[in-house]
């Protein structure tokens, strides 16, 4: 649960929406500011927060919040 909250918080900070507006389905389609540039900023913020590094393929594939969560879990991120 902690991981999810943490990821939702970062999405809300980078995309400038309240954390209540973020859910597993949040994506560039549902959040206005989530364009390709803001996607870079999101990836950079996630990498800094969890001290991990995504591969280029992971960056391309993480197209919504639930895929971000799945990728982080696959990389062994717990909290």
Partner 1 sequence: MLNETYAEIQDILNKAKTDHLPKLNFSILRNVIVEPIVPYLKFLAYKMGFAAEVRMGDYDNLVQESLGVREEILNKETDSVLIFMKLENLSWTVARNFTALRTGDVQNEVLRVQETISTILGGIRKQTDGMILWHGFEFPLYPSFGIWDSQIPAGQVGTVVDLNNFLRKALRSVPNAYYVDLNLCIARVGGKRFYDDRYWHIGRAPYSREALCEIASEDFKFIRSLKGKSRKCLVLDCDNVLWGGIIGEDGLSGIKLSKTYPGSPYYEFQQEVMNLYNRGILIALCSRNNAEDVWEVFRTHPDMVLKEEHIAAAEINWEDKATNLAKVAANLNIGLDSLVFADDSEFEVNLVRQAIPEVTVLHLPNDKTVEYRNILVSCGLFDTLTISVEDRERGVMYKAEAQRKQLQGQAPDLETYLRSLEMVVEVKFADDFTLPRIAQLTQKTNQFNLTTRRYSEADIKKYMEAEDADVLSLQLADKFGDSGLVGVCILKYSEQKAVLDTLLLSCRVLGRGVEDVFVIQALKLAKRRGCEGVIGEFCPTKKNAQVKDFFPKQGFEPLSRSSKEAKETYLFLMNKPLREEPSYFKEIRSLICE
Residues that bind partner 1 (CB under 8 A): 9-10, 13-14, 16, 36-37, 40-41, 44-45, 47-49, 54-56, 59-60
Report the Cα–Cα distance between both ends of the chain, in Å, rounded.
Answer: 8
The residue (of 5 and 48) whose beta carbon lies closer to partner 1 is: 48
12, 18 contact by CB (below 8 A): yes
The residue (of 16 and 25) whose beta carbon lies closer to partner 1 is: 16
How buried is 14 (Cβ within 10 angstroms: 0-12 exposed, 13-18 middle, 19+ buried)? buried
The residue (of 24 and 49) whose beta carbon lies closer to partner 1 is: 49
């Amino acid at each position: 649960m902690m991981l999810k909250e943490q990821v939702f918080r970062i999405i809300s900070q980078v995309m400038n929406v309240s954390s209540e507006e973020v859910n597993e389905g949040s994506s560039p389609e549902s959040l206005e500011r989530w364009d390709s540039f803001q996607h870079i900023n999101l990836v950079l913020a996630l990498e800094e927060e969890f001290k991990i590094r995504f591969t280029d393929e992971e960056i391309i594939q993480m197209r919504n919040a639930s895929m971000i969560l799945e990728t982080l879990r696959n990389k062994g991120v717990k909290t």
